[in-house]
Amino acid sequence: MELKQRKRTRLKDFDYSSKGCYFITICAIEKEKALFGKIKRESLQIEPYIQLTGYGEIIKKQIEEMNSVYDDVNIYPYVIMPNHIHFIIEIDGSSGTPTPTNSRIPFLVSTFKRMTNKKAGFKIWQRGYNDHIIRNDEDYLRVAEYIVNNPYGKIW
């Protein structure tokens, strides 16, 4: 039986360790509905929102922890949806620690997924993730607006 080769999702020849901003989306394992939260609407006058589950709270705390542990990394804005998350991760290049080409973003996403899986007690993420390299201020504003205005989402 021949194994199907996975589709390459990273931009060829781009250094994912370079200073800049990246839009990341990670989905729940098998896109399981409501793993991270449930859509709530208390009245027609109040906008719907996500009420986080315990797993959603784990995700929120892990993002906050990563923001405090890594001096050269900022994860914001972000939104936790019922079965996926979106966030912008900025690498400001101030750490002075050399990293191998293409390793920084994959390392940070892998660390985030590994730590949340460990705290949850089982694998909560699907394999891989989607990324978009934010190229300029206009692109950043478009992506940040998408995150902030994500239906039912709450920006933390």
pTM value is 0.83
Query: Is the Cβ–Cβ distance between 98 and 24 less than 8 Å?
Result: no
Classify residue 30 by burial, with Cβ atoms within 10 Å: 0-12, 13-18, 19+. Answer: exposed
Indicate whether 5 belongs to any domain.
Answer: no
Instruction: Please write the tens of the pLDDT for every residue from 3-47.
Output: 555 555 555 655 556 789 999 999 999 989 999 999 887 777 777
CATH number at residue 102: 3.30.70.1290
Question: How far apart (Å, rounded) are the C-alpha atoms in residues 133 and 92?
Answer: 14
Least confident of 3-12, 47-56, 120-129, 145-154: 3-12
Q: What is the structure's pLDDT at 156? A: 44
Instruction: Please write the tens of the pLDDT for every residue from 72-116.
Output: 999 999 999 999 999 999 998 776 665 655 678 899 999 999 999
Indicate whether 115 belongs to any domain.
Answer: yes
Indicate whether 153 belongs to any domain.
Answer: no
